[in-house]
C-alpha cells in the first residue's frame, strides 16, 4: 500500500513538473504541489528502503562534494567555427555545396543559447551521469548539480538501454537579476552576465547552492543512442521532445541560404524580448548522411557554423547623473539619458559603476555618449564622444552626503565604492533588518522577509532593535498573521535576547564583520560598550582582524544612529555580554579539519564541540593542522592529510577524546 502510494505520488509530481517547467502550463496551485511533495518526503523518510535515485525528492544532494571527478566523453563535444558577417555565412554555404556536389540539402537554424554545454547520460531510462563539456574530450562530473535543474528528467519513458544527449545550461534573465540583487545585499561581487553566473552555479560543490540559482536547460543534440537511428537532426529533436526533454524553443529548416540569412536576422531581432540570453544563431546541415560526408576538422565540424551577433551600440545624450543608494550603502552613479532603442528595448538610464569609471572615461553631464547592453541585459555607458562637446558640459563629483539620509559618506582606501554607513539609512533599512533577524545573527525563528517587509512598510520598525518593542496588537494586523502566529513570533523575539554578544555584533551589520570576526571581537572585548570605546589600534591587534576591519568598526560606532540602536537593545534587555562557553581547554592550540560524512555528528555539531573545548576548525588541510576528522567518502582533504603526515582520526576516536 505504501509502495503504491509513493509510486503514485512520484508519477503525479513528475507530471506536474513537466506541465510547469516544460510546457509552462501549471495545472495545480503551488500549495497543492507543496502538499504532494511534503507527503512524498514524509513517506520516504518513514520508509528509506523505498527511496530511488529518480524520485523527485532526490534532486538536491545531502552533503557537499570534496571535488569533481573527471569524465572522458566517448563522443567528443565539439565546438563550432564562428561567423561574424553575412559574407562568412554565404562562404560556409559555398563550401557545403562544393562538398556535396549535386545533392539537395537542407539547413536547420537554431538560436545559440549563451550558457554552459553539458552531457546527460541515461541507462535504461534513468539519469546516471551529467558532465561539463570541458575541453571537448574531458569534462567534470556534475551529476548532483544537474539533478537540481527541474527541466532535466530523472527518468525517461521508452525502452532505451543507453542515451546521451547534449544541452546548454543557462540562467534565465529573471533568475540572474534576482541572484545579483541577493549578492549585492550580502556584499558579494556581482556576476557580469547570466553565462558566468550559470557556470559558477554549476560548479558549486554544494548542490543546495546550485538548487537556489534556478538554472534551466535546452537540449539540442543526441550524442549517441542504443537501438535507434535518425535520418535528420529535426527528427532527433522531435524524439527528444517526446521523451520529456526541454528542447530548443525554435528549430526551423531552410533549403536555401537566403532563407537561412533571413532566419538569422529574425532571431537577432527577437533577442531583446527573450527571457534568456542568446549570443548567436547556429546553422547546421539537417541530414546526418550529409554530415558524415563533410566530417570534421580537428577542432570543429565542417557541417555547422555559429553566427555571432555583435553587441549593439547607440549614441545618445547624457542629460544628468543621479545617485542610487543600494541596500549595502553603496552610492552608485547612474546616467539619465535621452531615450534610445537598443537591443529590442528603449533605454533611458544606464549604470556608470563608480566615480573612477567616470573619471577614466572622462564622462561629463551633457556629453554625447555611446551606450551598449553589457551581456545584452545591463545598459552601460561605453565612452563619451568628446568631439561633440560645445563647452556646456559639467564635470560630475560624488556627493559628500548620502542623498537618502544626509549622513556623511566615506570611501575606504583601495576601494572604488563610496558608501553611506548610517545603519538607519532608509535606502538600507529592510536589508539591514533582514540580516539582523537571520539565522547566523539573532536567529529569530519565523521572521521571514515577507513579514519584515510588511512591518517596515507599516512603519512599525525602522531598525532591527525595534523588533523588541513590537506588541501583539501590532502583529495581528499584519497580513496572514493570526493571534497564535503572532504569539509564537513574539516568543521567538524574546528568546533571541539571550543569543549572546557575538551574534549581536554580527547582527549589527558592520561592514567587513562576519560571524567568525564577531566571535573574536566578543571573546576579546567581553561586552558591547568596551568594543564601542576601543580605538583602531587595539581592535586591529586582534588575530585575524586587521586595520581595515578596525576602521570599519570605529566608523560604525561613531554615528548617532548606531548608538541609538545599541541603547534600544540595552533597554529591551538584549544580552550584550560575552559568556565563555569553553568547557575546558583540552583542544587549545589545536586545529581540526572535517571531511566526509560522520556516522552520527553533523559537521556544524562537531565543529561546535571542538570550539567548546578551545579548538579551532579550518576548511583546508595544511602542515599546521593537528587532526583531520574523517568520515565516509572523504576526498581530497584526506589525501592531502596523508601526504603531509597529519594525524587522521575517525568519529569513535573523536568521542574518546571527549571523554
- Span 168-202, pLDDT tens digits: 999 998 888 888 777 766 656 677 778 888 888 88
Residues 180/184/187/192 CA torsion (nearest 10 deg): 40
Q: Which class would CATH give 591-658?
A: alpha beta
Cβ burial of 19 (10 Å; 0-12, 13-18, 19+) is middle
Residue 369 or residue 44, greater confidence? 369
CA distance 519 to 589: 17
> What superfamily would CATH give domain 313-388?
Nucleic acid-binding proteins (2.40.50.140)
pLDDT given for residue 187 in this prediction: 58
Would you say residue 129 has pLDDT above 80? yes
From-to residues of CATH 2.40.50.140 in the chain? 313-388
| Active-site annotation holder among 112, 147, 150, 246 | 112
Residue 103, pLDDT > 90, answer no
Rg of the chain taking only CA atoms, in angstroms: 29
The pLDDT of residue 494 is: 94
Q: How far is residue 141 from each of residues 95, 133, 145, 385, 625, measured CA to CA in Å?
A: 37, 10, 9, 49, 29
Question: For 13-28, what is the mean pLDDT?
Answer: 74
Half-sphere exposure of 234 (CA within 13 A, CB side): 14
Q: Is the alpha carbon torsion for 374, 379, 383, 385 positive or negative?
A: positive
Determine the number of helices (DSSP H) and then strands (DSSP E) in the chain: 24, 22
Q: Say which residue the cell 527573450 belongs to.
A: 274
Q: Which residues are bridge partners to 140 per DSSP?
A: 70
Q: Give the number of C-alpha atoms closer than 13 A to the C-alpha of residue 361, restricted to the C-beta side.
A: 22
Which pLDDT does position 196 carry in this prediction? 84
Contact (Cβ atoms closer than 8 angstroms) between residue 493 and residue 471: no
The ranges of the chain annotated as CATH 1.10.150.20 are: 429-498
| Residue 27 clears pLDDT 70, i.e. is over it | yes
- Residues 52-84 have pLDDT tens digits of 887 887 776 655 566 788 899 999 999 899 898
Least confident of 32-36, 112-116, 620-624: 32-36
| Residue 327, pLDDT score | 64
pLDDT greater than 90 at residue 117: yes
DSSP H helical ranges for 368-480: 429-437, 449-457, 472-475
The answer on pLDDT for 100 being more than 60 is: yes
Could you confirm whether domain 82-308 is CATH 3.30.470.30? yes
Q: Residue 56 in contact with residue 10, Cβ under 8 Å?
A: yes
In this structure, are residues 124 and 225 in contact, taking their beta carbons and an 8 Å threshold? no
The average pLDDT across 209-237 equals 93
Q: 173, 210, 168: which is closest to 194 by C-alpha?
A: 173
Lowest mean pLDDT among 236-240, 424-428, 559-563: 424-428
Task: Give 248-284 pLDDT, tens digit per residue.
Answer: 989 999 999 999 999 999 998 888 788 898 989 999 9
Residue 466 confidence (pLDDT): 94
Q: Compute the distance between CA of residue 12 and CA of residue 17 in angstroms, rounded to an integer.
A: 9
Share of the chain above pLDDT 70, in %: 94
> Topology of 2-58 in CATH?
Helix Hairpins (1.10.287)
Given a cut of 80, is residue 161 above it in pLDDT?
A: yes
DSSP structure class, residue 69: P
Determine the Cα–Cα distance for residues 160 and 273; give it in Å rounded to an integer.
Answer: 38
Answer yes or no: is pLDDT of 619 > 70.
Answer: yes
Question: Rounded distance, CA 542 to CA 135, Å?
Answer: 46
Question: How far apart, in whole angstroms, are the C-alpha atoms of residue 574 and residue 576?
Answer: 6
- Could you give the CA distance from residue 582 to residue 594 in angstroms, rounded to a whole number? 20
Give the Cα separation of 178 and 412 in Å (integer). Answer: 28
d(CA 229, CA 308): 31
Rounded to the nearest 5 degrees, what angle is found at the Cα of 487, between the Cα atoms of 482 and 488?
Answer: 100
**pLDDT the model gives residue 572:** 94
Residue intervals of the chain classified under CATH 1.10.287.610 are 2-58
Q: Which positions ≥6 away from 44 have C-beta within 8 Å?
A: 6, 50, 51, 55, 57
Task: Give, for 40, the enclosing helix (H) or strand (E).
Answer: helix 30-46
Task: State the SS3 of 455-474.
Answer: HHHCCCCCCHHHHHHCCHHH
E strand map for 44-199? 70-72, 82-83, 107-113, 116-123, 126-132, 138-140, 162-170
In this prediction, residues 643-648 reach a mean pLDDT of 88
- Cβ-contact 500, 443 below 8 angstroms: no
Distance of CA 260 to the CA centre of its chain: 36
Of 266-270, 339-343, 361-365, 403-407, which gets the smallest average pLDDT? 339-343
Cell 522577509, residue? 449
Region of residue 366 (phi > 0: left; psi between -120 and 50: alpha; otherwise: beta): left
The position carrying cell 524520485 is: 55
Going by the DSSP 8-state scheme, the letter that residue 394 receives in this structure is B
Superfamily of domain 429-498: 5' to 3' exonuclease, C-terminal subdomain (1.10.150.20)
pLDDT of the residue at 247: 95
Query: What tens digit of pLDDT does each residue of 499-546 get?
Result: 899 999 999 988 788 887 888 898 889 999 999 999 998 988 887 788
Mean pLDDT of all residues in 454-467: 90
Q: State the alpha helices, DSSP H only, in 534-602.
A: 536-540, 546-558, 560-572
CA 347 to chain CA centroid, Å, is 26
Distance of CA 425 to the CA centre of its chain: 27
Indicate where the chain has its CATH 3.40.50.10190 domain(s): 591-658
pLDDT at 618: 80
The chain-wide mean pLDDT, for the chain, equals 86
Quick check: is 112 catalytic? yes
How far is the C-alpha of 242 from the C-alpha of 434, rounded, in Å?
45
Start-end of CATH 3.30.470.30 domains in the chain: 82-308
Residues 6+ apart with CB under 8 A from 381: 318, 335, 350, 351, 352, 361, 363, 369, 370, 371
Amino acid at each position: 500500500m505504501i509502495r503504491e502510494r509513493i509510486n503514485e505520488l512520484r508519477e503525479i509530481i513528475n507530471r506536474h513538473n513537466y506541465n510547469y517547467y516544460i510546457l509552462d502550463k501549471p495545472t495545480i496551485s503551488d500549495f497543492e504541489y507543496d502538499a504532494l511533495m511534503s507527503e512524498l518526503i514524509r513517506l520516504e523518510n518513514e520508509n528509506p528502503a523505498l527511496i530511488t535515485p529518480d524520485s523527485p525528492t532526490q534532486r538536491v544532494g545531502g552533503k557537499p562534494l570534496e571535488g569533481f571527478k573527471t569524465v572522458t566523453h566517448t563522443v567528443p563535444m565539439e565546438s563550432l567555427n564562428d561567423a561574424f558577417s553575412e559574407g562568412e555565412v554565404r562562404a560556409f554555404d559555398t563550401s557545403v555545396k562544393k562538398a556535396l556536389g549535386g545533392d539537395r540539402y537542407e539547413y536547420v537554424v537554431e538560436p545559440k543559447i549563451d550558457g554552459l554545454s553539458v552531457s546527460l547520460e541515461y541507462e535504461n531510462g534513468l539519469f546516471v551521469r551529467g558532465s561539463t563539456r570541458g575541453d571537448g574530450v574531458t569534462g567534470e562530473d556534475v551529476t548532483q548539480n544537474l539533478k537540481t535543474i527541474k527541466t532535466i528528467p530523472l527518468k525517461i519513458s521508452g525502452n532505451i538501454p543507453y542515451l546521451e544527449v547534449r544541452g546548454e545550461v543557462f540562467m534565465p534573465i529573471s533568475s540572474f537579476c534576482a541572484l545579483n540583487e541577493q549578492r549585492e545585499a550580502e556584499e558579494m561581487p556581482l556576476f557580469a552576465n547570466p553565462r558566468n553566473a550559470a557556470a559558477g552555479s554549476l560548479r558549486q560543490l554544494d548542490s543546495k547552492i546550485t538548487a537556489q540559482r534556478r538554472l534551466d536547460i535546452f537540449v539540442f543534440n543526441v550524442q549517441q543512442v542504443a537501438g535507434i537511428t535518425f535520418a535528420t537532426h529535426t527528427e532527433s529533436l522531435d524524439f527528444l521532445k517526446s521523451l520529456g526533454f526541454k528542447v530548443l524553443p525554435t528549430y526551423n529548416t531552410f533549403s536555401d541560404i537566403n532563407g537561412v540569412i533571413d532566419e538569422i536576422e529574425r532571431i537577432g531581432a527577437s533577442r531583446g524580448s527573450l527571457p534568456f540570453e542568446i549570443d548567436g544563431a547556429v546553422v547546421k546541415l539537417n541530414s546526418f548522411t550529409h554530415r558524415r560526408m563533410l566530417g570534421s576538422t580537428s577542432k570543429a565540424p565542417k557541417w555547422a557554423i555559429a553566427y555571432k551577433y555583435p553587441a549593439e551600440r547607440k549614441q545618445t545624450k547624457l542629460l544628468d547623473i543621479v545617485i542610487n543608494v543600494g541596500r549595502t550603502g553603496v552610492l552608485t552613479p547612474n546616467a539619465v539619458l535621452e531615450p534610445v532603442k537598443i537591443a529590442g528595448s528603449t533605454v533611458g538610464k544606464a549604470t556608470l559603476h563608480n566615480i573612477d569609471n567616470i573619471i577614466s572615461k572622462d564622462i561629463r553631464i551633457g556629453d554625447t555618449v555611446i551606450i551598449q547592453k553589457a551581456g545584452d541585459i545591463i545598459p552601460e555607458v561605453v565612452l563619451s564622444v568628446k568631439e561633440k562637446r560645445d563647452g556646456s558640459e559639467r564635470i560630475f563629483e560624488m556627493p559628500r552626503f548620502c542623498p537618502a539620509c544626509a549622513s556623511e559618506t566615506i570611501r575606504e582606501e583601495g576601494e572604488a565604492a563610496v558608501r553611506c554607513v548610517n545603519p538607519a539609512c532608509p535606502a538600507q533599512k529592510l536589508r539591514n533588518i533582514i540580516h539582523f533577524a537571520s539565522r547566523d545573527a539573532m536567529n529569530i525563528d519565523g521572521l521571514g522577509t515577507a513579514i519584515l517587509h510588511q512591518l517596515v512598510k507599516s512603519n512599525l520598525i525602522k531598525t532591527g532593535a525595534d523588533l523588541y518593542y513590537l506588541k501583539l496588537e501590532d502583529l495581528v494586523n499584519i497580513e496572514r498573521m493570526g493571534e497564535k502566529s503572532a504569539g509564537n513570533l513574539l516568543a521567538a523575539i524574546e528568546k533571541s535576547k539571550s543569543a549572546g554578544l557575538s551574534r549581536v555584533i554580527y547582527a549589527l551589520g558592520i561592514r567587513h564583520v562576519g560571524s567568525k570576526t564577531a566571535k573574536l571581537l566578543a571573546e576579546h572585548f567581553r561586552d558591547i560598550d568596551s568594543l564601542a570605546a576601543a580605538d583602531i589600534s587595539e581592535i586591529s591587534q586582534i588575530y585575524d582582524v586587521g586595520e581595515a576591519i578596525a576602521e570599519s568598526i570605529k566608523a560604525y560606532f561613531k554615528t548617532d544612529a548606531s548608538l541609538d540602536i545599541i541603547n534600544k537593545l540595552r533597554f529591551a534587555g538584549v544580552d550584550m555580554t560575552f559568556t565563555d562557553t569553553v568547557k575546558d581547554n583540552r583542544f587549545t592550540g589545536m586545529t581540526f579539519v572535517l571531511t566526509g560524512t560522520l556516522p552520527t555528528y553533523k559537521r556544524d555539531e562537531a565543529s561546535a564541540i571542538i570550539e567548546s573545548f578551545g579548538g579551532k576548525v579550518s576548511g583546508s588541510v595544511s602542515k599546521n593542522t593537528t587532526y583531520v576528522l574523517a568520515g565516509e567518502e572523504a576526498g581530497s582533504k584526506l589525501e592531502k592529510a596523508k601526504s603531509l603526515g597529519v594525524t587522521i582520526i575517525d568519529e569513535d576516536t573523536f568521542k574518546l577524546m571527549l571523554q
